[in-house]
Amino acid sequence: MSSANILVLNCGSSSIKFAIFDMSTQSVLISGLAERLYEAQPFISWSGLHKGESPISDQGHQATLDKLALLLAEWNILDSLIGIGHRVVHGGEEFSASTLLNTENIAALRKISHLAPLHNPVNLLGIEACQKLLPKLPQVAVFDTAFHQSMPEHAYLYAVPQAWYEDYGVRKYGFHGTSYRYITEACAKLLNKPEEELNILCAHLGNGCSAAAISNGKSADTSMGLTPLDGLIMGTRCGSIDPGLIEFMMKAENTSIEDIMNSLNKKSGLLGLSGCSNDMRTLLAQEEAGNKQASQAINAFCYRIAREFGALSASLTRIDAVVFTGGIGEHATAIRQRIIDFWPNAQIALDPDLNKQAGNEHGIISQANSPKAMVIATNEELMIAQDCYELCNHD
Ligand SMILES: Nc1ncnc2c1ncn2[C@@H]1O[C@H](COP(=O)(O)OP(=O)(O)O)[C@@H](O)[C@H]1O
Ligand SMILES: CC(=O)OP(=O)(O)O
Ligand SMILES: [Mg+2]
């Protein structure tokens, strides 16, 4: 087996995605997903050199990380690894680029963990598990926030007392940056343009959802903020709301700030509006079956994305393409059409066949005479593997 293998770990709030890359060929050897970690029956599946699936004996991230350690040993892959790359969602102001981890910067990461409560604590759990399993192996953190460090001050400042920014780092950071970085590279190639000349609007629509304006290949603005709670409607997160709502609901329900924040993070978004699911596939099926609340949730979701595109377009001198990515963006034909329907002044006309097949060989789903709309499958794991490989080889 090659000795240029990198393990990539993406610990999410309720799932763990992993991939083993052979960087001598930039190919994936094995990739997998553990899902529903806090539900009755957590489950892990993998494919590539080895293929299989298995229930996980216990709930939570730790049991899954233990299971993954057993699988890596079983696949005889541990000795071939030269580094481990971790998706870390929040890098605060301290981390503006991918970083080789050590005791000091892990401690610094721990300090900003509360800024992404659904993500950073479990990202750290993954880092600790790997340290235990392979203490000598270099580990690299790749931050969702890094790509957005190019945002200008007028985009990232909140209109709150300046001391909040100076003393506590309260500003917009933006997330899904590793995905936007991949999309920028891929889109420039597909449109045959230098990255530095690419101007696009992109929506990353997964469990977490955000949109970004990319100007001359760099992030100019994005919908998520200090935390990944702001902006678009998400699976269980509310997105933008009137901040006054928080005090209002605390008084109305005579409850704590923790309770309200828990509801805004875990019981809102598509789940809260529909009252039935955070999963777009389920909601589309429910809508088809006549469930009005599911329909309301989907419409609010799509409208908010159209509105965000309209707002973000203010920061671009020209729009080369509107790009959809993430689980929903890549797979939900009807959602892409509905977003475009809610955005008439963009004058985009989708080609129904191209939209259905999620793009031609250039990723394009719009008609020939329309402003361009595209679908590009994101690959955060490849970006993480590349950064990890580069940092491991330089040390
Ligand atoms: N064929 C599909 N049609 C509609 N929605 C889909 C389809 N496939 C996946 N999705 C949706 O994608 C979302 C998950 O996206 P994903 O990017 O995998 O999430 P994560 O943020 O966990 O990485 C879910 O809402 C799921 O319903
Ligand atoms: C930042 C974020 O929302 O990530 P995810 O989409 O993985 O939840
Ligand atoms: Mg995701």
Contact 21, 97 (CB under 8 A): no
Residue 376, pLDDT above cutoff 90: yes
Domain with CATH 3.30.420.40 in the chain: 5-143, 193-380
What average pLDDT does the segment 305-329 reach?
Answer: 98
Report the half-sphere exposure of 361 (CA within 13 A, side-chain side): 1
132 annotated to a ligand binding site: no
- How far apart, in whole angstroms, are the C-alpha atoms of residue 202 and residue 223? 11
Q: Residue 98 contacts by C-beta under 8 Å, 6 or more apart in sequence?
A: 140, 141, 142, 143, 146, 387, 388, 391
Cα 197 off chain centre by: 24
Least Cα distance to 64 among 141, 119, 8, 122 occurs for 122
Q: How far apart are CA 65 and CA 390, in angstroms?
A: 25
Q: Which of 119, 118, 156 has its CA nearest to residue 141?
A: 119
| Interaxial angle between packed helices 244-252 and 257-266, expressed in degrees from 0 to 180 and rounded to the nearest 10 | 110
Find the mean pLDDT for residues 116-123: 92
Task: Please give the pLDDT value at position 38.
Answer: 81
Q: If pLDDT is split at 50, 70 and 90, which confidence band does 372 have?
A: very high
Helix (H, G, I), strand (E, B) or coil at 381: helix
Report residue 253 as tokens.
């329900």
| Nearest CA residue ID for atom 6, ligand 1 | 328
pLDDT tens, position by position, 331-342: 999 999 999 999
- Alpha helix locations (H) across 18-81? 61-74
Query: According to CATH, what is the number of the domain 193-380?
Result: 3.30.420.40
Residue 144 appears among annotated catalytic residues: yes
- Whether 237 has a pLDDT exceeding 70, the answer reads yes
Does the C-beta of 12 come closer than 6 Å to ligand 1?
A: yes
- Confirm or reject CATH 3.30.420.40 for domain 5-143, answering yes or no: yes
Pocket mutation for ligand 2, best pick of 123, 142, 176, 380 (most atoms within 8 Å of C-beta): 176
pLDDT tens by residue, 149-196: 999 999 999 999 999 999 999 999 999 999 999 999 999 999 999 999
Distance 323 CA to ligand 3 centre (A): 16
* Greatest CA separation for the chain: 62
- The Cα 83–Cα 135 span in angstroms is 11
**pLDDT classification of 394: cutoffs 50, 70, 90:** low
Is residue 81 within 8 Å of 392, Cβ to Cβ?
no
Question: What is the value of ipTM here, to two decimals?
Answer: 0.98
Sign, Cα dihedral of 353, 184, 105, 227: negative
Tell me the average pLDDT across 21-41: 90
Query: Looking at the predicted structure, is the pLDDT value of residue 12 above 90?
Result: no
Element spanning 211, H or E: strand 209-215
Where residue 395 falls among pLDDT bands split at 50, 70, 90?
A: low
- pLDDT higher than 60, residue 2: no
Which residues place a Cβ less than 5 A from the ion ligand 3?
206
Q: Which pair of structure tokens corresponds to residue 23?
A: 């960087």
Work out the average pLDDT over 236-258: 98
What are 191-221's pLDDT values in tens digits?
Answer: 999 999 999 999 999 989 999 999 999 999 9
Contact 333, 351 (CB under 8 A): no
Residue nearest (by alpha carbon) to ligand 1 atom 12: 327
Amino acid at the residue 157: L
Residue 110's pLDDT is 94
Ligand 1 centroid to 22 CA: how many Å? 27
The Cα–Cα gap between 280 and 327 comes to: 9
Would the pLDDT of 42 be above 90?
A: no
Distance from the alpha carbon of residue 181 to the mean position of ligand 3, in angstroms: 14
Phi, psi dihedral angles at 203 (to 5 degrees): -115, 120
Mean pLDDT estimate for the chain: 95
| Per-residue pLDDT at 320 exceeds 70 | yes
- What the block records as the tokens of 346 is 């963009």
Q: Over 70: is that where the pLDDT of 103 sits?
A: yes
